[in-house]
A and B are shown apart, each in its own frame.
Chain A
């Protein structure tokens, strides 16, 4: 739950061109079956978890009745975590925007070996377990008590973890030769670097920026590994709280907590998707898809 949305189940197996119409039907049926089974496999636990959070007694089943009591209890105990998580996510987003967007732009433009090396280093926190990154942060900054005890410490951890997603999404858009020519066009009309960056690069890189922001927000809200290592009793984010409830309270409360999680992240995801699509319509939606996919797979050597 605290990772990037899982890839969609393989709905379309490659169409094999068989002659018999019968086998085609069979194939289609088989595809449907596999797809539905995979969906069920993924969705049933989610539904069960939600149901568990709403039932009076999970062990007796739904027959024991439905209630919002657990949700209420979770809210009174953990609403601090909700706001903390939102604050951390917002701060993380802000920092990754301010640093990641220019960094992505520069990395996309620069052809030196150094920039390729930096690009690889940026990805390290994704490749390493979150625990390792957290440990490194603790070793180096653990001594600065003020910093270590504050929310800023968590934010720092989240920035380390999410920055590559922003940088890569932005770099993918900025690397397109289209954008480069647009910049040359603006330059020919007298625009200085700063003017070009704000009036041409940023608006046209928006699909990449939105994609990056989407990734950063969801990752930050769901991040557990690193946060669990870094948190103090005062800085418990949502996922850490979730671990707490599962470990120490009844299953219904843990499940209600999951519902809370859903309620929080779903509108966020929908809103961000919307933001990427609204103003310029279809085009930017299409562009975004193009922009996101290479960001995860291709790195120019």
Chain B
């Protein structure tokens, strides 16, 4: 199944609810066929943005939304030809699985035979054929999620909008379905906007990720950009875990409590106080005599494939370091750590 795709453009779209600005004016271009993930904590405005694209909310005066060349700002959702999957799935309890998937086709008065064929096709694609005539309340969470997706795709929408479609499922199922969803979205080639607060989903599914917080966009970029080159602290702290090294800048080095780290060249600042950041997986244990920083193990958490150490005394803040799962270190063990040179992240 391959669907036509259109680009989406939001221009100066803001949203105010009863005098409260929940979304600052926002510009967003989504390429045809692209999967764009809106990522952020709850209340950051990501769902409001999605609902504006869907047509369930209208932007404040001055905002414009276009699908390709088609200005849809004034169109209500039923005229926008979007496929939407809701967080709660919003499946119709008065209809069967088949009735749900075929609902949009019935509304559009698609000839019965054509409609039946398309529903059958979608049932097969989503592995729901055996459940076609069951009412919704007899389905498992994963099956409901697939029905919701099939229902949205049945009407051959111009864009696909997904509002936390995996949040209602348990962790293991979520992992499986995330992979399936990825394959499906690549296959369909439809312009997709995907809202989530789960960074694993964002990383795996997004061509680009928009990190949002407090009603504004913090950064737009590829998953790798967001992770390795976060634009600011908010992004760095929301996506993954990050360590902060604070100290004095001296001769191209950052000297801190437990040693000194060479600074990437080019960074010039007026003051001598300085700080730099790195991810837990970018540091490694080294011989204390030659290591950049020295400290002691404060605690150690075994997570299976890796062990996360909390190191004290190396920097003003405790540092989190990921090492191989087999490494066992007692509390208080003195350790040396070094940081992969180009993994240092400078943040304003």
* Same assembly: yes
Cross-chain contact B78 with A192 (CB below 8 angstroms): yes
Query: Nearest Cβ in chain A — how far from B192, in angstroms?
Result: 14
Cross-chain contact A190 with B78 (CB below 8 angstroms): yes
Cross-chain contact A188 with B94 (CB below 8 angstroms): no
Cross-chain contact A190 with B93 (CB below 8 angstroms): no
Cross-chain contact A185 with B93 (CB below 8 angstroms): no
Cross-chain contact A182 with B90 (CB below 8 angstroms): yes
Instruction: Say whether A34 faces chain B, with CB atoms less than 8 Å apart.
Output: no
List A contacts of B76 (CB < 8 A): 187
List A contacts of B334 (CB < 8 A): none
- Contacting B81 at CB < 8 Å: which of A182, A184, A190, A203? A190
List B contacts of A188 (CB < 8 A): 54, 77-78, 82-84, 152
Q: How far is the CA of A204 from the CA of B83 in the complex (A)?
A: 22
Instruction: Say whether A189 faces chain B, with CB atoms less than 8 Å apart.
Output: yes
Cross-chain contact B92 with A195 (CB below 8 angstroms): no
Cross-chain contact B78 with A187 (CB below 8 angstroms): yes
With most chain B CB atoms within 10 A of its CB, the pick from A187, A188, A203, A280 is A188
List B contacts of A149 (CB < 8 A): none
Instruction: Say whether A186 faces chain B, with CB atoms less than 8 Å apart.
Output: yes
Q: How far is the CA of A283 from the CA of B136 in the complex (A)?
A: 12
With A184-B56, A200-B92 as known contacts, state yes or no: A190 contacts B86, CB within 8 Å: no
Binary interface profile of A, 196-216, with partner B (CB < 8 Å = 1, else 0)? 000110011000000000000
Q: How far is the CA of A188 from the CA of B103 in the complex (A)?
A: 11
With most chain B CB atoms within 10 A of its CB, the pick from A181, A185, A203 is A185
With A188-B83, A189-B155, A190-B104 as known contacts, state yes or no: A204 contacts B77, CB within 8 Å: no
List B contacts of A203 (CB < 8 A): 94
List A contacts of B84 (CB < 8 A): 184-185, 188
Instruction: Say whether A191 faces chain B, with CB atoms less than 8 Å apart.
Output: yes
With A190-B107, A283-B93 as known contacts, state yes or no: A185 contacts B78, CB within 8 Å: no
Give chain B interface residues in 51-88, CB to chain A under 8 Å: 54, 56, 76-79, 81-84, 86, 88
Q: How far is the CA of A189 from the CA of B56 in the complex (A)?
A: 12
Q: How far is the CA of A189 from the CA of B93 in the complex (A)?
A: 16
- The size class of the interface chain A forms with chain B is 10 to 19
Instruction: Say whether B108 faces chain A, with CB atoms less than 8 Å apart.
Output: yes
Instruction: Say whether B137 faces chain A, with CB atoms less than 8 Å apart.
Output: yes
Cross-chain contact A189 with B94 (CB below 8 angstroms): no
Query: Nearest Cβ in chain A — how far from B148, in angstroms?
Result: 8
Give chain A interface residues in 252-301, CB to chain B under 8 Å: 280, 283
- Contacting A185 at CB < 8 Å: which of B79, B81, B86, B94? B86
List A contacts of B82 (CB < 8 A): 188
Binary interface profile of B, 103-127, with partner A (CB < 8 Å = 1, else 0)? 1100110000000000000000000
Cross-chain contact B137 with A189 (CB below 8 angstroms): no
With A191-B78, A195-B107 as known contacts, state yes or no: A181 contacts B86, CB within 8 Å: yes
- The size class of the interface chain B forms with chain A is 20 to 34
List B contacts of A184 (CB < 8 A): 56, 77, 84, 86, 90
- Contacting B94 at CB < 8 Å: which of A178, A181, A187, A200? A200
Cross-chain contact A280 with B54 (CB below 8 angstroms): no
List B contacts of A186 (CB < 8 A): 92, 103, 107
Query: Nearest Cβ in chain A — how far from B277, in angstroms?
Result: 41
Query: Nearest residue in A to B157 (C-beta to C-beta)?
Result: A188
List B contacts of A280 (CB < 8 A): 93-94, 135
List A contacts of B79 (CB < 8 A): 190
Cross-chain contact A204 with B94 (CB below 8 angstroms): yes
Instruction: Say whether B91 faces chain A, with CB atoms less than 8 Å apart.
Output: yes
Cross-chain contact B155 with A190 (CB below 8 angstroms): yes
Q: How far is the CA of A10 from the CA of B115 in the complex (A)?
A: 55
Q: How far is the CA of A184 from the CA of B92 in the complex (A)?
A: 11
Q: How far is the CA of A191 from the CA of B79 in the complex (A)?
A: 9
Instruction: Say whether B151 faces chain A, with CB atoms less than 8 Å apart.
Output: yes
Q: How far is the CA of A177 from the CA of B79 in the complex (A)?
A: 23
Query: Nearest residue in A to B135 (C-beta to C-beta)?
Result: A280
Q: How far is the CA of A181 from the CA of B54 in the complex (A)?
A: 13
Query: Nearest residue in A to B56 (C-beta to C-beta)?
Result: A184
Q: How far is the CA of A283 from the CA of B93 in the complex (A)?
A: 10
Query: Nearest residue in A to B105 (C-beta to C-beta)?
Result: A189
Q: How far is the CA of A178 from the CA of B77 in the complex (A)?
A: 18
List B contacts of A185 (CB < 8 A): 84, 86, 90-92, 151
- Contacting A190 at CB < 8 Å: which of B88, B108, B135? B108
Cross-chain contact A189 with B91 (CB below 8 angstroms): no
| Given A187-B77, A189-B152, 18 new contacts (CB under 8 A) | A182-B90, A182-B92, A182-B93, A184-B84, A184-B86, A185-B84, A186-B92, A187-B78, A188-B54, A188-B82, A188-B84, A189-B107, A190-B107, A191-B103, A199-B103, A199-B107, A280-B93, A283-B137
What would be 26 A-B contacts, judged by CB atoms less than 8 Å apart?
A181-B86, A182-B93, A184-B77, A184-B86, A185-B84, A186-B103, A187-B78, A188-B54, A188-B77, A188-B78, A188-B82, A188-B83, A188-B84, A189-B78, A189-B104, A189-B151, A189-B155, A190-B104, A190-B108, A191-B107, A195-B107, A199-B103, A200-B92, A200-B94, A204-B94, A280-B94
Q: List the 9 shortest-distance A-B pairs measured between CB atoms, nearest first.
A: A185-B90, A189-B104, A203-B94, A188-B84, A181-B90, A187-B77, A187-B78, A191-B107, A190-B107
